[in-house]
Amino acid sequence: MVEAIKELRKICQRPTPNPTLESRIRRFFSIYLTRVLLYTPITANQVDYIRILFGISVGVLFAFNQYWPGIIAAFLMQFSHFLDWVDGEVARYRKSESLSGQYADILAHTVAVTPAIAGISITNPSVAMFGFSAILFHAFYHDLQPLKNGIIFLMLNYRLREEGKIEIINPEISESTAESYHRKLIKGLLPIFNIVFMMHIICLAAIFNFLNLVILFYGTALPLIWIIFAYRHIKIGVEPYRHFLK
């Protein structure tokens, strides 16, 4: 017998420091769907596979280039994002959290936006080039930090093996509190390039029928953002980790 909602919140939902209004709302409702799924044999990974299918379906629906299929696609995008909360709750209840589960979750995130942009662009030749640009640099932009983390991990792993150590300590990166105006401006604009925010923008664009403008914007802005951050990561290098590598 599955526990009551109040008890499930304690088991399945981790405390979140400074939660946003959106996260409060989704956490409030997600536990009810989680409770329903707990009566079934469905796993957290299978929830992620459903999210992947939704992502692909969204691209197909947008490719119809019609209003109501676009509305359905927008609904599926939001529901897929809602399931992103549910999979973690199912995993925590069933004590099935694992690296493969994290990979499935990341894989589901990768198809949250890209098929939508592809579907919108494929039947709109006027924005097809911008759609391709948005897809390409969206992938590049989100790969920058993981790529750098992978390089740093390899360096740390090599050094630890040399010294015969087995544990890895996360280094603390000290950053100057003084920021220039343009850096503050860029940092303030960055949320609009996050996957969740892009999903919301695309959904609103589907409802109010300005999908082409969204593709034009992201197809132009993402290459610029990628260039800025690629340069920044190259310039910074691994100096923040140098004290640990010595």
Does residue 119 fall inside a structural domain? no
Kindly give the confidence (pLDDT) of every residue in the chain, 246 residues in length, as a single tens digit, with 9 standing for 90 and above.
Answer: 888 999 999 999 888 888 888 888 988 999 999 999 999 999 999 999 999 999 999 999 999 999 999 999 999 999 999 999 999 999 999 988 887 788 888 888 888 888 999 999 988 888 899 998 988 888 777 777 777 777 777 777 677 767 765 444 444 444 444 566 667 777 777 888 888 899 999 999 999 999 999 999 999 998 888 888 777 766 766 555 555 555
Q: In which domain, by residue range, is 230 found?
A: 127-246
Q: Do 151 and 238 touch, CB atoms closer than 8 A?
A: yes
Q: Do 45 and 104 touch, CB atoms closer than 8 A?
A: yes
Angle (nearest 5°) at CA 103 between 224 and 117: 40
Does residue 150 fall inside a structural domain? yes
Q: Of 79, 112, 145, which one is at a domain's C-terminal end?
A: 112
Does residue 120 fall inside a structural domain? no
Task: Tell me, yes or no, whether 168 and 220 share the same domain.
Answer: yes
Q: Of 81, 112, 143, which one is at a domain's C-terminal end?
A: 112
Does residue 203 fall inside a structural domain? yes
Q: Among candidates 169, 216, 205, which has minimal Cα distance to 71? A: 205
Sign, CA torsion 88/94/98/103: negative
Does residue 178 fall inside a structural domain? yes
Q: Do 105 and 87 touch, CB atoms closer than 8 A?
A: yes
Task: Tell me, yes or no, whether 209 and 142 share the same domain.
Answer: yes
- For the chain, the maximum distance between any two Cα atoms, rounded to a whole number of angstroms, is 62
Q: Do 59 and 115 touch, CB atoms closer than 8 A?
A: yes
Q: What is the CATH number of the domain that holds 2?
A: 1.20.120.1760
